[in-house]
Structure 1
Amino acid sequence: MNRIPVVTRSHIKWAALLTTLLFFDMADLNALAYALPAIRAEWGLSLGEVGIATSATFLGMFCGSIIGGRLADRFGRKRVIIGATAFFSLFSMLTATATTVTELSIYRLLTGAGLQALVVVLLTYAAEMFPRQFRGRVQALMLGVSLLGVPALAFFSRWVVPLGTGSWRFVFIAGSAGVLVVILAWLWLPESPRWLEGKGRIEEAEKTVLLLEREAEAKWGGPLPEVDTVPAPIPASKPSDLIRQGLLRRTAVLAIGYGFGLIGYYGFNAWLPLLLTETGLTTAESLTYTSILSLAAVPGALIALLFIDKIERKWAVMMLFVGMGLFMLMFGFGSGAPMLLTSGLLITFLAFASTTCIYTYMPEIFPTHLRALGTGTANGIARLMAFGSTFILAAILGSLGFTAVMLFLAIAMILAGIVIGLLGERTNNRALEAISSLKSQEPTKVPANATATTRVGEERI
């Protein structure tokens, strides 16, 4: 897997399918934010009840991250990708039937669990399946295209929500459409060879490896590069290995840094329509602003194509997070439509550039047998921090107002950048096995004419 020097035809097909799944995930993730102003007006919700409904999604994400990661490490990446998509689509559809804030919160909790389980396992799968020198760019392209789901749902919401009482329900129905892609995922996606090798299923792993080698040789125009051996993978053992000294530090740094980042990002994104109504805008006007700001999502993710495989990822994350914090200060302390639109567009632009980098970075730092669980655990703890922050944000908004909320979010973003940048692991253009090794080891060569079976056995993929 490490010697594949090009993106093959199969890689392109898998990336297209994963992008489609992520499109619906991204759309559904933002569904509550777009429907919430109308729900609050229709049901007469207090800010506290709004906080409960919003936090339910984050609590579900916490559960889904850890459970989805554990299931993927035990039962395989492909099964969980398919199961998580079906799960979140079902409960998004049920959200459209909610009649009380309790029902709404329960359905969004379960939807959030499915959404985040899919993201964690999909990122793990992408990290394991694509060539290391293209990992960042492939994920940037996948995320950039899938983020079309955000403005698509934003403009759909802008059109459908003002139609009348209960029209917000169509927002959740639209978000559940990802279930339509499940059959293609079952037919087209192979299981990860790295995961199969860890389970001793070498023959199944070799089928995919040999397919990629044949396609790569045809595209490369000759024999593939020699195999670089890397430090032996950490032997598969128990989930408790995640708290061993080296991995515990990585998990803690990622969880805390990303947690501050999510407080800033989701505090801004999930609360934005409501925050804008607090400045005096109508629901329709706030949704118009939100729709315009969402247009920066796709170019923000795609701009990462220019640097994601060139600049060390942790430094890129740090600079983007700190930049977001500074523009949040402009958004909070500025006044007038031009300032709100300019700073809001820049926040959204940097947010999705940073999302591309952090999504690529997370699964890279864990060994194969703990990659999904490690990613899910760090992600889940970060979501739990975001869950707790919703109550703080509701209290700040209710007592101190809009500007104080933006100051709080800006501080969180700057702290996120400092933690990841100063304490994170170096991952750029390194083999996954070399990153996950807790001690340095010099690579050695394996003859280029070695058989596929020998390469799998000696390199451990």
Structure 2
Amino acid sequence: MQHSNAANRIDRLPVSRFHKVTLVAVSFAYFFEFADINTFATTVPKLVDLWGVTVSQIAYVTSLSFVGMFFGSLVASGLADRWGRKRALTATTLWFAVFSFAAVFSWDVVSLGVFRVLTSAGLSAMTVVAVIYVNELYPAAVRGKYQAYAIVIGICGTPVTNLIASAVVPISDWSWRLVYLWGSLGVLFVLFTRHLQESPRWYENKGRYAEADAVLSRIEAQVEAEKGPLPAPAPPVATAPHAKAPLSLLLQRRYLAPTALLTVLWVTQTIGFFGYSSWAPTLLAQEGLSVEKSIFYVALTTVGAPLGSFLASLVTDRFERKWCLVAFGTTIAICGLLYGLTFNPVLIVVFGFLVNLFERGYTALAYAYSPELFDTRGRSLGTGMSYGLGRLSNAVGPLVIAALYTRSGYESVFYFIAGTWVVGALTLAVFGPRTRRARLEAAAAPDPAVRS
């Protein structure tokens, strides 16, 4: 049976300019995804004063944004399978940029909420596609490292945006709109598209072997021109092309278990991370800190985010990803609890810095770990569904946090958030499969039968 041997041909490539250009493009998309994801949180303290926005309204906008993320994740998995990884990545990035620009012209909390829901759908969709794209274009031995490198660069969007917000939001009654204008610059991703290649593994899975071979030949020619002759790839194992993966595919035993596990991973990560990032500026302001100080302190804590992603790049391919996730999640729970139980400015910044450092390391590890639990046929659907359900869970998370804050006070919010991280770490420790041996086997003596 005809076969382009995509996996083996990709895995024997040395890292080259092709991989680095792809890294820059994906990192750019990530940068504005991370820039955009916190824009509402950084402008809310100003809108509380300007529009009289209440804690309950903040909770509803945040909750509905995560409903948008859920649908965005599901749509993304379909787009990635139907259109291809490259076209889907471009479309989803442009989507969130356009609606971030629309938010500049919001006239009340309802209109802003609508634009945030649509923006959030694009943010989540882009993330799902980018994770799959990197997984399929980089050699198995280094894909985790380069997934983390993309996050290292991309996550800089969070502290940059927070620092921009801390500078521009207090200027006037309209200057908060500049934060959303900044987020819309993700539209410039179109400048990178001509340098990107479609995933040959996607072509192969669709039975479009000639197109897969053409892409692989272009990539190999670029790499050979830079690195010299390439080693011969391992021989292919003939496989039949697959039709569109139906939703019922995830009910099969080989897909159900990893989907359930990853759903728990992304539920606890979503509630845990956004519990801190979405609520910290508002809660600090509610507890007596000025708007300027609350935004500035949170901006300082997010400086730890790029360092966390870099830390993940150092450990992700060297150690078992499962246990790295367990260790990072436990550390986040401890540091996050201490962060919430102090009002000393220095300790707020220190523990907040550590939360951001380990959380972003955790996210980078999870982005590499998630698609490894599926084969090519189930990768897009399984990754999109579990990630989407995680985001959907935070439709409830902000309402729970608002209720806890109203009824039990500030400290109870941070006990709740720390508890979600502990649940995620324990679930991974008990049920998470190990993937390092499979990666090492794929790099040393790949067996195509287990690497589809």
Cα deviation digits, residues 101-151 of structure 1 (max 9, x gap): 221111111100011111100110000000111111111111101111111
Residue type of the alignment partner of 1:178: G
Matches within 5 A, 1:13-412: 13-185=21-193, 187-217=194-224, 221-224=228-231, 226-227=233-234, 235-236=242-243, 238-239=245-246, 240-412=248-420
Shift in Å at residue 257 of structure 1? 2.2
Alpha-carbon contact 2:312-2:364 (below 8 Å) kept: yes
Identity level (%): 33
- Inter-CA distance 261–131: structure 2 relative to 1 (3 Å threshold): same
Cα deviation digits, residues 86-105 of structure 1 (max 9, x gap): 11111111111111222111
In 1, Cα distance between equivalents of 2:378 and 2:224: 31
In 2, Cα distance between equivalents of 1:68 and 1:90: 17
Residue type of the alignment partner of 2:146: V
Residue type of the alignment partner of 2:22: W
Alpha-carbon contact 2:166-2:296 (below 8 Å) kept: yes
Q: Any gaps of 5 or more consecutive residues in structure 2?
A: 1-6
- Inter-CA distance 460–143: structure 2 relative to 1 (3 Å threshold): closer
Alpha-carbon contact 1:160-1:167 (below 8 Å) kept: yes
In 1, Cα distance between equivalents of 2:388 and 2:441: 24
- Inter-CA distance 221–59: structure 2 relative to 1 (3 Å threshold): same
Secondary structure of the corresponding residue to residue 297 of structure 2? helix
In 1, Cα distance between equivalents of 2:291 and 2:345: 16
In 2, Cα distance between equivalents of 1:460 and 1:266: 34
- Inter-CA distance 51–330: structure 2 relative to 1 (3 Å threshold): same
- For normalisation by structure 1, the TM-score amounts to 0.90
Alpha-carbon contact 1:254-1:378 (below 8 Å) kept: yes
Alpha-carbon contact 1:364-1:432 (below 8 Å) kept: no
Corresponding residue for 1:413? 421
Residue type of the alignment partner of 2:53: L
Alpha-carbon contact 1:216-1:224 (below 8 Å) kept: no
In 2, Cα distance between equivalents of 1:140 and 1:443: 23
Shift in Å at residue 16 of structure 1? 0.9
In 2, Cα distance between equivalents of 1:303 and 1:195: 31
Cα deviation digits, residues 15-69 of structure 1 (max 9, x gap): 1111111111110111111111111221111211110111222111111001111
In 1, Cα distance between equivalents of 2:326 and 2:238: 28
Corresponding residue for 2:15? 7
Cα deviation digits, residues 205-251 of structure 1 (max 9, x gap): 11222233344455655441541667968954532212211201110
RMSD: 2.4
Q: Any gaps of 5 or more consecutive residues in structure 1?
A: 435-441, 446-457
Between 389-398 and 220-229, the greater mean CA deviation after superposition? 220-229
Between 375-384 and 66-75, the greater mean CA deviation after superposition? 66-75
